[in-house]
Amino acid sequence: MPSVASSGTHRRSLRDLAAGDLAGRRALVRVDFNVPLGGDPPQVRDPARIRAALPTIEHLRAAGARVVLMSHLGRPKGRPDPALSLRPVGRELEALIGADVGFVDDPLAAAAVDEVARLQPGGILLLENLRFWPGETDADPAFAAALARLGDLFVQDAFGTLHRAHASTSAVPAVLRPAVAGLLLAAEFEAFARLREEPARPYVAILGGAKISGKLETLRAILEHADRVLVGGGMASTFYLARGWEVGGSLVEHELVQVAAELLDAHGAERLEIAMDAVVAHDVRHPASPRVVAAAAMAPDTSVGDIGPRSRAAFARRIDEAATVFWNGPMGIFESPAFAEGTLAVARAVARATERGAYTVVGGGDSVAALAQMGLQGSVSHVSTGGGAGLELLAGRVLPGLAALESA
Ligand code: ADP
Ligand code: MG
C-alpha cells in the first residue's frame, strides 16, 4: 500500500497565505475558462467552469488583491483566432460576478504591464487566450517570464490542465513565487487525497465511459486502493473480448485486450466486477429494438449500448454497501434514452450512498453532465472538474502543473 506522502497532492494553498500577502498584490491566476462557445457573435454555452473559479476570484478580491486571470480556450495552434477569443468569457464573468472585467489583448505588449498597474485592489483583468502564442504549449521560458511580470504571486486553479507542461501551468510557477493552489484546486486535492489515503471501507470504484486507453491503466492503480471496481460502459467490452466472448460491433480497444486479461487473472471477479449483461442493438446510433443479453451471449451483428438490468441491480447493491465511492465514466450511451438506464441507476445509487453518509466523488466531463441531467450534481460529496487529471492523481502520477507548486 503506497504511503500517504506518495500521493504528492499536499500543496500550499491560497488559504495558507496571510491577508498581508494579498492586499494590493498582483495575483496572476491560471483558471480553466476552456468553456463551450456557440453562436455568432460567440457566447458562452455552459458557464460551469467559470462558476467553479469564482471562490478563488472572490477570495482574492475580498483580500484586496489585484486579480489577473489567464486561461486557454480550444486549440488555436499558436496564432490568433477570433472565434476562440476569451472576450465573451470575460463578459460572462462580468455578469456572474457583478463587477467590471478588463481585457488584455496582448499580454506580451509593454502596455499590459501598465494596464495591470492601473488595476484597483479587488479589480479584475482577463488576458487573451494564451494559446494564441506558441510559447504557451511550448512552455517557452521567455513567454513564461512575460506572463510572470504581470504578477507578484501565482495561483493555480485549473485542475483540468494540470497534466500539461505548458508555460502557464509549469513554467510560470517555476519563476513566480509564492506559487500556490487556488480554492478549487485545493478542494480537488483534498478529495483525491481522501480516496487514496485511508478511504473509509468498503471503497467501491465504478468505471465506464468511452476513453478506454487512459482509463484501463488507471484501473490497475485504483485496484490497489479500492475494495471493488465495477466496470461498465465502453470499457466493459474490452474485458469481454479478453474472455474470448463475442462483442459484435462494440467499442473495444484491441491493444488493451492483453492488459484486460491480465487484470482479470490477477484480481478475479471478487474485486474486479465486469457488467454481466448488456443492452444491445443492431445499430446503437439508431436503436430501433434494444435487447437485453448476457454479456457472454452476444450476437455478432449487435453492439453494446448499456449495462443490463442484472448489472444495474448488482452495481447498485455494491454502491449501497460502500462507505467510499468514486465514479468516472457513464455506464452506457446515456445520451440516448434507450441506453440511459445503467447510468441513471448508478447516479441514483451514488446519491443514495451520499445521503446515508458515504463519501462520494464523481469525475469526468460526461459523467458529471449525466449527473447534472438527472439533477443530482448537488447530491454527491465532490464533483470533480477534471476527468483525466483526477484519474492521474488516483493512479499516483505526479502531474507537471502540480509538481510546479510549492509543497505544503
Ligand atoms: P467522462 O467524460 O465521464 O470521463 P468518457 O469521455 O470516457 O467519460 O466517455 C463518455 C462517453 O462514453 C459518453 O458519450 C457515452 O455515450 C460513451 N459510452 C458509454 N458507454 C458506451 C458504450 N458501451 N459504447 C460506446 N460508447 C459508450
Ligand atoms: Mg468525456
Please determine, looking at this structure, whether the domain spanning 4-187 carries the CATH number 3.30.70.1230: no
**Rg for the chain (alpha carbons), in Å?**
23
- Nearest protein CA to atom 19 of ligand 1, as residue: 332
Could you give the CA distance from residue 396 to residue 22 in angstroms, rounded to a whole number?
Answer: 32
Q: Do domains 4-187 and 198-394 have the same CATH topology?
A: yes
pLDDT tens, position by position, 69-91 = 999 999 999 999 999 999 999 99
| pLDDT, the chain, mean | 94
pLDDT higher than 60, residue 3: no
What is 198-394's CATH superfamily?
Answer: Phosphoglycerate kinase, N-terminal domain (3.40.50.1260)
Handedness of CA 189, 194, 197, 202 (dihedral sign): negative
Query: At 311, phi and psi to the nearest 5?
Result: -65, -40
pLDDT tens, position by position, 300-351 = 999 999 999 999 999 999 999 999 999 999 999 999 999 999 999 999 999 9
Map out the domains of the chain as residue ranges.
4-187, 198-394
Ligand 1 neighbourhood includes 365 CB (under 6 angstroms): yes
Determine whether 201 is an active site residue.
no
Cell numbers linked to 144: 513564461
Measured from the Cα of 388, ligand 1's closest atom is: 4
Cell numbers linked to 301: 451483428
Ligand 1 neighbourhood includes 328 CB (under 6 angstroms): yes
pLDDT tens, position by position, 206-256 = 999 987 777 877 888 899 899 999 999 999 999 999 999 999 999 999 999
Measured from the Cα of 367, ligand 1's closest atom is: 3
Catalytic residue among 25, 49, 215, 318: 49
Ligand 1 neighbourhood includes 216 CB (under 6 angstroms): no
Determine whether 24 is an active site residue.
no
Ligand 1 neighbourhood includes 160 CB (under 6 angstroms): no
pTM of the model: 0.90
* Residues, beta carbon < 5 Å, ion ligand 2: 365-366
Give the full edge-to-edge strand order of the sheet including 303-307: 291-294, 277-281, 303-307
